Amino acid sequence: MITHWVDTTTDEEARALDRRMWDFVTREDPDSTAISQASGPPSENGEFWSHALDRIKDDPDQRYAMARRHVPLPAAWREMAIALRTKIRKARKENAPYEILLRELHHLAAMSSYAGYGLIQRVPYTRIAGLDLAYDRVGFEQLPLLGVTDGKCMVELWGEPSNHTTAAELYAEMLAVDLKRIEADEQQEKAEPMDHLFGSWNDEYRVGEPSAAPSSPEKRRGLLDWLFGRGTRS
């Protein structure tokens, strides 16, 4: 079972993962009180991921790896970027190569600009990661994840880009298809609880189904009586 968005390769995998995280599930607590709750993001050894990250945030490699397991949550994109900047600063101070790290930071920012949370998690990671989001095509000024210092560093290495845009603008047609698909999926999902309710009602009260003859005629409850618990059988 896929537990992280970065492992999704198909629309259905992304949809299923999102639903496992955010669909409400009803359970009973020890005193028989019904509680509806979503499971949310996967934990880190039983702990909420951002709390676990606080203990390893001084290690940029661990910080990056943990945050990557939780993209496309907005905080996870930011934590990955922070980890990369830490490594870039260290490399610059030591006069070590850092271009690969800077390209990773740019690509990360470009991917995150495809759509906001609420939509992007329904698009498989591999499809977004495979888009041509090169520096010269996307630039940096329109990417919210990047700051002024990031842009200066990129211009220093690669010069001024020919364009400044976002993945959403660059791949507007693809995004429009995704939005239409996601909207249709969500409409279907909203209808599922009522479909389940009516399906159960129809199964129990199927017309013409052979059954053992009751000792006296049975009065069928109306739909409103069934839904709201009114009415009795006589």
Q: Distance between CA atoms of 97 and 216, rounded to whole angstroms?
A: 88
CA end-to-end span of the chain: 49
Is residue 61 domain-resident?
yes
Residue 12 host element (H or E): helix 11-22
The predicted-structure confidence for 106-137, as pLDDT tens digits, reads as follows 999 999 999 999 999 999 999 999 999 999 99
Amino acid 232: pLDDT: 38
pLDDT band at 40 (very low <50, low <70, confident <90, very high): confident
Over residues 7-14, the mean pLDDT reads 98
CB atoms within 10 A of CB 155: 14
Residue 36 host element (H or E): strand 34-37
Full domain range(s) for residue 123 = 44-185
Is residue 72 domain-resident?
yes
Asked if pLDDT for residue 207 goes beyond 90, the answer is no
pLDDT band at 84 (very low <50, low <70, confident <90, very high): very high
Asked if pLDDT for residue 58 goes beyond 50, the answer is yes
Amino acid 24: pLDDT: 76
Is residue 65 domain-resident?
yes
Amino acid 199: pLDDT: 53
Over residues 18-33, the mean pLDDT reads 75
Contact call for residues 30 and 147 (beta carbons, < 8 A): no
pLDDT band at 73 (very low <50, low <70, confident <90, very high): very high
Is residue 195 domain-resident?
no
What is the residue-averaged pLDDT of the chain?
A: 85
Q: Distance between CA atoms of 113 and 164, rounded to whole angstroms?
A: 12
Q: For residue 144, what are the contacts with CB-CB under 8 A and spacing of at least 6?
A: 109, 112, 113
Is residue 87 domain-resident?
yes
The predicted-structure confidence for 163-173, as pLDDT tens digits, reads as follows 999 999 999 99
Instruction: Tell me the percentage of the chain whose pLDDT exceeds 70.
Output: 77
Is residue 50 domain-resident?
yes
Domain count of the chain? Answer: 1
pLDDT band at 39 (very low <50, low <70, confident <90, very high): confident
Over residues 210-230, the mean pLDDT reads 40
Amino acid 28: pLDDT: 62
pLDDT band at 220 (very low <50, low <70, confident <90, very high): very low
Is residue 111 domain-resident?
yes
Is residue 201 domain-resident?
no
